[in-house]
Amino acid sequence: LQIVLKMVGCNGQPVAKISDTYPAKGMCTDQSYADYLKKTFDKRISE
C-alpha cells in the first residue's frame, strides 16, 4: 500500500507541480498559474 498526498493549494493560493515533461507530469488546478510558472521558468532557463 502506498499513500501519496499532493498539495493543491496553500492559504487560498494555487500551488503546482511542474516537470520538464510538462504537462504530462505536471499538476495544477489553476491553469493560468501553471502557464505563469512555465513562462517564468522557461525565461530563466534560456538566460
Grid look-up 515533461 returns 21
Residue type, 7: M
Q: Which grid cell sits at 15?
A: 500551488
pLDDT tier for residue 14 given thresholds of 50, 70 and 90: very high
> Could you state, in order of their start, the residue ranges of all structural domains in the chain?
9-41
d(CA 44, CA 13): 23
pLDDT at residue 19 greater than cutoff 80: no
Residue whose C-alpha is closest to residue 17's, from 3, 42, 30? 30
For 17, which DSSP code?
A: B
Q: Of residues 21 and 27, which shows the higher confidence score? A: 27
